[in-house]
């Protein structure tokens, strides 16, 4: 028997066929509720989520092909200061928090490909500790908090219910403006949530061509636009995020058509604001991305290092930015458009 005589390629387990649960959480109501959503899953008890998530030599790409779920608790570093690569939308007190690490989607440009040691998903079940910590950090001040950066909470709402949890927190803490960033098209859960000024749905959209090529497992642009329209019609503050803006062939035409398509579907007067920025990434994440995905066009592109971030060279970035700005300004006032740049 040789390799070539071997059977066809091994079959993969479906996503979340295996759930790792920290021993102290086994049997807890929240863990049981989640596990029950996956009746066929094999459940494995572990001591600590890091024993699985932080192992050496993991393959991000292999794990993304058959993701496991890890249920754990986190007790330190529950809230972070907003990273310089992220948009603050004019908020000086900008924070982010992650009840879930790892995303169900698999976008080629995603910084998670370079940030995490593996592609599995961790959910922290001591959510109330996170809420308490946010309250402590805000200390009654106005803060802006992103809750869905290192994951897509809305895409996992039917499993974790964290979007509703944060919504109820926002309702009681009006000084804290929460941004739920998502590419999910299943936003039906919003119908049960009262629209709040301080609970923003930030919908990430990309030109169809880019979405098809780079956004694996993500709902189509069409479906995302439908979901966005529904959210806006329900009265939820809707932010559009055209981020990252990617260099593509026929850039002008691609982005012009895209913006036109967005605003033929979405009511411009109901858009709270828009954020966009060119692809940028830290050197260490880019290095890991290239290792994990050696034939990814996004990872291999010869970016320029400027102010600690790899991105397109300034001339091109300025060109792309000015074009996109021009297209967006046809529909939205300039004061509602936020641009990320170095």
Partner 1 sequence: MLYITTALYDEASPYIELLGLKKDVSFNKIRVYSNENAVLAVTGTGVFAAVSSLSYVLGRIQPSRGDVFLNVGICGGRGVTNTYVCRKLSLFGDKRAYFCPDMIYMTDFDEAELVTYPKPVGEIPKGVLVDTEAYGLAFAASAFFSPHRMFFIKTVSDEGDHDRITHGYIRELMEKNAEKIAAFALSIPHEEALEELSSDELCEIEKLRMSTTQTKMLKDCLYYYRLRGGDVLKLLRELPEVKTKQEGRETLDRIRRIAAGSVI
Residues that bind partner 1 (CB under 8 A): 1-3, 5-13, 17-18, 20, 42, 44, 46-47, 51-52, 55-59, 61-63, 65-66, 68, 247-248, 251, 290, 293-295, 297, 300-302, 312-313, 315-316, 319-320
Burial class (CB in 10 A: 0-12, 13-18, 19+), 266: buried
Name the β-bridge partners of 340.
277
Q: How far is the CB of 1 from partner 1 (least distance, A)?
A: 5
159 DSSP 8-state letter: H
Name the β-bridge partners of 274.
240, 337
Nearest to partner 1 of 11, 29 (CB atom): 11
Nearest to partner 1 of 33, 42 (CB atom): 42
Tokens, residue 342:
């170095």
Residue with tokens 């790892």, as numbered in its chain = 102
Q: How far is the CB of 308 from partner 1 (least distance, A)?
A: 17
d(CA 272, CA 309): 29
Nearest to partner 1 of 42, 264 (CB atom): 42
**Whether the Cβ atoms of residue 95 and residue 42 lie closer than 8 Å to each other:** no
Nearest to partner 1 of 1, 139 (CB atom): 1
Nearest to partner 1 of 197, 304 (CB atom): 304
**Whether the Cβ atoms of residue 205 and residue 242 lie closer than 8 Å to each other:** yes
Nearest to partner 1 of 61, 175 (CB atom): 61
Q: How far is the CB of 261 from partner 1 (least distance, A)?
A: 20
Q: How far is the CB of 60 from partner 1 (least distance, A)?
A: 10
Name the β-bridge partners of 178.
145, 199
Q: How far is the CB of 12 from partner 1 (least distance, A)?
A: 6
Q: Closest Cα to residue 116, out of 105, 101, 126, 128? A: 101
Q: How far is the CB of 315 from partner 1 (least distance, A)?
A: 7
Q: Is the bond leading into 244 cis (omega within 30 degrees of zero)?
A: yes
């Amino acid at each position: 028997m040789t390799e070539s005589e071997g059977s066809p390629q091994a079959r993969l387990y479906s996503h979340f066929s295996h759930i790792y649960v920290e021993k102290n959480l086994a049997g807890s109501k929240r863990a049981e509720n989640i596990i029950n959503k996956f009746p066929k899953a094999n459940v494995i008890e572990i001591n600590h989520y890091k024993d699985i998530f932080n192992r050496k030599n993991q393959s991000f790409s292999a794990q993304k092909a058959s993701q496991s779920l890890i249920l754990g608790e986190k007790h330190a570093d529950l809230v972070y200061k907003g990273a310089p690569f992220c948009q603050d939308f004019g908020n000086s007190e900008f924070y982010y928090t992650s009840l879930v690490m790892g995303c169900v989607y698999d976008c080629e440009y995603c910084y998670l490909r370079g940030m995490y040691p593996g592609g599995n998903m961790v959910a922290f079940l001591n959510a109330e500790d996170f809420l308490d910590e946010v309250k402590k950090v805000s200390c009654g001040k106005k803060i802006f908090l992103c809750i869905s950066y290192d994951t897509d909470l809305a895409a996992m709402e039917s499993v974790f219910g964290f979007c509703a949890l944060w919504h109820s927190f926002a309702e009681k803490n009006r000084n804290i403006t929460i941004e739920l960033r998502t590419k999910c098209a299943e936003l039906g859960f919003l119908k049960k949530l009262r629209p709040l000024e301080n609970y923003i749905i930030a919908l990430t959209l990309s030109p169809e061509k880019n979405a098809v090529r780079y956004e694996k497992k993500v709902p189509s642009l069409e479906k995302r636009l439908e979901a966005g329209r529904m959210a806006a019609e329900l009265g939820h503050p809707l932010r559009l995020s055209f981020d990252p803006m990617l260099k593509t062939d026929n850039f002008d035409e691609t982005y012009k058509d895209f913006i036109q398509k967005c605003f033929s579907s979405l009511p411009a007067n109901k858009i709270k604001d828009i954020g966009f920025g060119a692809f940028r990434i830290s050197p260490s994440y880019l290095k890991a991305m290239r290792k994990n995905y050696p034939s990814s066009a996004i990872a291999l592109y010869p970016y320029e290092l400027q102010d600690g971030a790899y991105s397109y060279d300034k001339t091109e970035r300025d060109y792309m930015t000015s074009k996109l700005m021009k297209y967006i300004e046809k529909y939205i006032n300039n004061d509602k458009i936020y641009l990320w740049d170095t």
